[in-house]
Structure 1
Amino acid sequence: MTYQRSPVKAPRVSGMALKAFVNALESGVGSVVLEKLVRDSGIERWRELSAGDAPPLQFPLPPGAPGAEPQAPMEQAARAIAAAPPPGERATVAAYVRAYREGGVDPVTVMRRLHESIDHLDSGRDRLGLFVSRKPDEVLRAAEASAERLRAGRPLSVLDGVPVVLKDEVDLAGFPTTLGTKFRDQLAAVDSTVAARLKAAGAIILGKANMNEIGINPIGLNPHHGAARNPWNRGRITGGSSSGSGAAVAAGLCPLSIGADGGGSIRIPAALCGIVGLKATWGRIPETGVPPLCWNVAHVGPMGLTVDDVAAMYALVSGPDGHDIVAETQPAHHLSGYENADLTGVRLGICWPYFEDADADVVARCRDAVRALTEAGATVVEIPAPDLNTVLWTHSCIILSEMAEAMLTHVKTRASDFGLDSRTNLAIGRHFRATDLVHALRHRHRLTRELLSLMKDVDVLVTPTTATTAPVIPEAALPDGESNLQVVDALMRFVRVANLTGFPALSVPAGYDRAGLPVGVQLTGRPFEEHLLLRLGRVVERATEHRRPPIHVSALR
């Protein structure tokens, strides 16, 4: 198949024009407007495309090869941090471990510094808009308990005393899980699995991070909690929907955070904020305590300053919890071969026309990443072009239909409480037919089978994470934001396939554009082969220049 990408025809709309457009979508003429919108965007070609004999269900992903080096989660996390190079001035998990061990600082001192920094960064005219909710007193009590364990030489894990942030899409006992809305205010009674596992590892949760409302847009602007701003340039977006989770790590407030990814929502902000983001295999990390928004494509997962940091968090939060049935059927997670920088025999699948369908600086930096991998022994295998129109509509139909169903009660009773971009996307989700959803699920099955077949001949797919670096925030359109499908397409072009198929994907910093904004490269692997992605990510990371963003704090100073 020749590589093709249909141009985005929808106009950029904001302000009163956007409000009028949304009102039209929700009125009696909405179906006519929506049908023209989706038809102009190419849906009819997708509706007519046969899915072959694929049944309308996602079959279980085949198990990966068993780990050659089985280790308990705590041991895997320790292994990842032990492999880390000297952190220098970077406040990595390894830097926290060293600082606490050498006694130069303790968790209580660090948390007090961080509270001061957050108060400064998240208030006033120049606020970054990182947090939705915090409880500083609880954080200090957790820090005191951690400091006592460290003094006694009994840390719970390498994350004991290390600050982390949770996207406001996962439950944290005593906090509301707002999903970025203004109406979800009921306090969570118990921790999500990821929150409970981080607490059991001694990590200190600073609070709940800002996000795009209901995770329905990859931009990162929120009409209720404010725009999340990029520490590399506060006039630029963070990407979303895990906007605050990405920016908090980049700004030095924590070396690790939890994001969620239904359509690139971990990897996009990771790329735009210059950090690492892992969307693990579907169900690899339990979704227990994560409100269902888009259950067929959703993933919760780690974001971090370095690959080693992300590997440590991945090790600690992955695996069955006795509640998430998807996680129960999977092979044990592991970090086999993690430290091995010799990539001899590793095959990189690249479709060059697809790879190069991005801004020139993005392509150049991602080519540098490919060069680092090949210099370490990997080889490049050219692969066929993806059918982007099929991928676009299959993913859009599934995620927007599921989000529309998840929010249907709220839309019926309080539609005006949603932001304009959410109302637009929810209207599209309600417009899809039942036959469209079945068609999309069949194509999902077909695309998964085809990708499994393709990856018998390659080990990892390589693309940019996003086609552009962080776009400018449309200040004049705030707080409502705008409809800008050209930007959405540039951010999501390379990320959808991993959500549709459930395959793991890792975004790693690959350098900077001419404006000094970060570029991310994406590595996509076979199911349950996160260890290989992390291994390759370490090679790219060690070959790449790293800078500190202009807006940054140093809690370990």
Structure 2
Amino acid sequence: MAAKVYKPAAEVNLGPDSDEFYISPNVKAPRVAGLLVKIFVWILEMPIIGSMVLYILKKDNLINKLVQDAEIPEPPLFTSTHSWEDIPEQNVCLTKPDLSPPERVQEAVSCLPASLESTLAGSPPSSPKRWTIRDFNRAYSSGEVTPVQVAKRFLAAVKECSGPGLNMAFFISYSPEDIIRQAEESTLRYQRGTPLSAMDGILVAVKDEIDCLPYPTTGSVRMPAALCGVVGFKPTAGRLSNAGVLPLNWTVGMPGILAGTVEDAAVAYSAIVDQSQPSYLRPELNLPLLKSSLSIKNIKLAKYAKWFNDSSEDIRSCCDKSLQMLHAHYGWETLDVTIPEIEEMRLAHYVTIGSECTASLAKYLDKLKRSEIGWDVRVALGVYGSFSSRAYLNSQRLRNRQMYFHKEIFKTADVIVSPMTGVTAYKLQDDALKSGELDYINGAALVRYSIAGNFLGLPAITVMEACKKHYKKPEVFYDLLKKD
């Protein structure tokens, strides 16, 4: 199979009439779980046969043709950094420089619209209430509920959902004593009328890719947000500090925010945005003025139809309706564009993650026995370790091309729109519970629309689709702000 020869990025047509061929991911790897995973691991770890199997897998999945052996004219781009551009924005609040995190939180809260309902007003039983940071803050300030009460309800919920009946262990580590201690201190501050900020007493979970001493702490923000019906916000690379982030994927890994609502994501962002650089070096912090009665005008949304439509019918239909609503309510225009080499970017991203994971974990893995590593992880490490330095360098050349393509599109469009996942969450089968599961076909469909944000360091947000007015309450639901 002849390797691909890429023409210079500047010669690629990005318009709707482009002749660039869209390659829908055609992953050639069977789903394996249970005993089959173990057998597959044993084969991959055999010195000669394993290398042959890995070569066939990479060849069949076009890694050799599109990435490793390809001829790419652009130089490699090893980091996804972006220089700050002072572009005028509509309906934003420019925060003052050198504010403390609590002061920035207050600025963010002042940008939010006034609530139209009382804090603990009842919601229809079939539609669970998504309590916001401001809801908790109002309840704490009024004395209706205290942080200690919420903390105790939270700990009871964690214990119940982690038990044998539900077996939903959401947290790998937490200290009930520490949580109660912090809640007691927060309760005292509210009683004295001196809370730290609107986020005082708010429960915050930290994903296990971040070193959160003294807790022993995987990544991804927008995809789990989409699968769970919440908001996922990944700011531009560099806007949040990487201090404490485990160096597993140092050129694609970056922090982000999972929140119940857009306003909570904005408040949380204001609290943790990196303001450590000197004021003359760091970009301005503009917060969305959500309380404004004026709608943002003249927004242009770029849509690559072949890519956008490469999703299940239910997802595609909902996302199309959302675009129609944006046009009907705000007059936002959708522009047809072509984003070339989507599949090539996915493969380059995969090679980059795999290569960096292998390099960063090597000294730790050498000290572990194979039996201490999960079966599915051993498969991934076997594949990752097979990537050559040429494959990694070519992946960074493809990153450079994609950065050029996206910057060109952003010259005429404000946002690139797409679904977040190609399929909805699929049921985890019983045979995957003990030995793990390898399902690269569904995996590729899930990550189909998330690559550019990570690989290119672009800001991206996942929001709930607007197809349904009411949502059924989940089978497992805990109301932490309920009245006793």
- TM-score, normalised with respect to structure 2: 0.85
1:38 to 58, 66, 82: 58
Q: Decide whether the 8 Å contact of 1:77 with 1:158 is kept in 2.
A: no
Match status 1:135 vs 2:175: yes
Question: 1:179-215: CA deviations, max 9, x gaps?
Answer: xxxxxxxxxxxxxxxxxxxxxxxxxxxxxxxxxxxx3
Q: Decide whether the 8 Å contact of 1:395 with 1:500 is kept in 2.
A: yes
Q: Counterpart of 1:277 in 2: which secondary structure? A: strand
Q: Decide whether the 8 Å contact of 2:81 with 2:237 is kept in 1.
A: no
1:22 to 27, 41, 48: 41
Q: Counterpart of 1:104 in 2: which secondary structure? A: coil
Deviation at 1:64, TM superposition (A): 3.3
Q: Which amino acid aligns with 2:105?
A: M
Cα distance in 2 between the residues matched to 1:411 and 1:481 = 19
Partner residue in 1 for 2:126: none
Cα distance in 1 between the residues matched to 2:291 and 2:301 = 19
Going from structure 1 to structure 2, the CA distance change for 1:544 and 1:348 (only over 3 Å counts) comes to: farther
Of all paired residues, the percent bearing the same amino acid is 29
Partner residue in 2 for 1:298: 253
1:331 to 268, 283, 291: 283
Going from structure 1 to structure 2, the CA distance change for 1:75 and 1:545 (only over 3 Å counts) comes to: same
Q: Which amino acid aligns with 1:79?
A: S
Match status 1:374 vs 2:345: no
Q: Which amino acid aligns with 1:63?
A: W
Going from structure 1 to structure 2, the CA distance change for 1:429 and 1:80 (only over 3 Å counts) comes to: farther
Find the structure with the greater CA-based Rg. Answer: 2
Partner residue in 2 for 1:486: 441
Going from structure 1 to structure 2, the CA distance change for 1:122 and 1:81 (only over 3 Å counts) comes to: farther
Q: Which amino acid aligns with 2:473?
A: R
Deviation at 1:550, TM superposition (A): 2.4
Match status 1:450 vs 2:381: no
Going from structure 1 to structure 2, the CA distance change for 1:409 and 1:311 (only over 3 Å counts) comes to: same
Cα distance in 1 between the residues matched to 2:258 and 2:478 = 18
Cα distance in 1 between the residues matched to 2:115 and 2:372 = 46
Q: Which amino acid aligns with 1:550?
A: E
Cα distance in 1 between the residues matched to 2:190 and 2:287 = 26
Deviation at 1:53, TM superposition (A): 2.9
Partner residue in 1 for 2:363: 409
Deviation at 1:378, TM superposition (A): 0.9
Deviation at 1:56, TM superposition (A): 4.1
Deviation at 1:329, TM superposition (A): 5.4
Partner residue in 2 for 1:4: 23
Match status 1:316 vs 2:347: no
Question: 1:497-536: CA deviations, max 9, x gaps?
Answer: 1111100111111157xxxxxxxxxxxxxxxxxxxxxxxx
Q: Which amino acid aligns with 2:21?
A: T
Deviation at 1:294, TM superposition (A): 0.3
Question: 1:199-249: CA deviations, max 9, x gaps?
Answer: xxxxxxxxxxxxxxxx3xxxxxxxxxxxxxxxxxxxxxxxxxxxxxxxxxx
Partner residue in 1 for 2:148: 108
Q: Counterpart of 1:69 in 2: which secondary structure? A: strand
Alignment of 1:71-220 (within 5 A): 71=95, 72=99, 73-82=104-113, 86=117, 89-177=129-217, 215=218
Q: Decide whether the 8 Å contact of 1:59 with 1:445 is kept in 2.
A: no
Going from structure 1 to structure 2, the CA distance change for 1:405 and 1:476 (only over 3 Å counts) comes to: same
Cα distance in 2 between the residues matched to 1:278 and 1:59 = 17
Cα distance in 1 between the residues matched to 2:414 and 2:307 = 18
Cα distance in 2 between the residues matched to 1:506 and 1:280 = 8
Going from structure 1 to structure 2, the CA distance change for 1:337 and 1:383 (only over 3 Å counts) comes to: farther
Match status 1:53 vs 2:74: yes
2:346 to 392, 400, 419: 392
Going from structure 1 to structure 2, the CA distance change for 1:487 and 1:479 (only over 3 Å counts) comes to: same
Deviation at 1:336, TM superposition (A): 4.2
Q: Which amino acid aligns with 2:475?
A: P
Cα distance in 2 between the residues matched to 1:113 and 1:432 = 48
Question: 1:282-316: CA deviations, max 9, x gaps?
Answer: 12111111111101001111101100011110111
Q: Decide whether the 8 Å contact of 2:237 with 2:458 is kept in 1.
A: yes
Partner residue in 2 for 1:230: none
Cα distance in 2 between the residues matched to 1:142 and 1:454 = 47
Q: Which amino acid aligns with 2:142?
A: E
Deviation at 1:548, TM superposition (A): 3.2
Cα distance in 2 between the residues matched to 1:332 and 1:83 = 26
Partner residue in 2 for 1:206: none
**How many residue pairs end up in the alignment?**
439
Going from structure 1 to structure 2, the CA distance change for 1:40 and 1:358 (only over 3 Å counts) comes to: same
Partner residue in 1 for 2:5: none
In the alignment, structure 1 segments of 5+ residues that lack a partner are: 178-214, 216-259, 513-542
Deviation at 1:59, TM superposition (A): 6.4
Cα distance in 1 between the residues matched to 2:75 and 2:244 = 32
Q: Decide whether the 8 Å contact of 1:84 with 1:308 is kept in 2.
A: no
Q: Which has the higher contact order (CA 8 A, sep 6+)?
A: 2
Question: 1:311-346: CA deviations, max 9, x gaps?
Answer: 110111111446xx9x99541332144445623200
Deviation at 1:129, TM superposition (A): 1.4
Going from structure 1 to structure 2, the CA distance change for 1:85 and 1:465 (only over 3 Å counts) comes to: farther
* Range moving further from structure 2, 148-157 or 56-65: 56-65
Cα distance in 2 between the residues matched to 1:351 and 1:458 = 12
Partner residue in 2 for 1:523: none
Partner residue in 2 for 1:439: 394
Partner residue in 1 for 2:295: 342
Cα distance in 1 between the residues matched to 2:80 and 2:231 = 29
1:552 to 450, 462, 477: 477
2:465 to 485, 510, 527: 510
- TM-score, normalised with respect to structure 1: 0.75
Going from structure 1 to structure 2, the CA distance change for 1:92 and 1:547 (only over 3 Å counts) comes to: farther
Cα distance in 2 between the residues matched to 1:474 and 1:480 = 11
Q: Which amino acid aligns with 1:34?
A: L
Deviation at 1:70, TM superposition (A): 2.1
Alignment of 1:237-248 (within 5 A): none
Alignment of 1:411-426 (within 5 A): 411-414=365-368, 415-426=370-381
Structure with more strand by fraction: 1
In the alignment, structure 2 segments of 5+ residues that lack a partner are: 1-19, 122-128
Cα distance in 2 between the residues matched to 1:544 and 1:462 = 22
Deviation at 1:45, TM superposition (A): 2.2
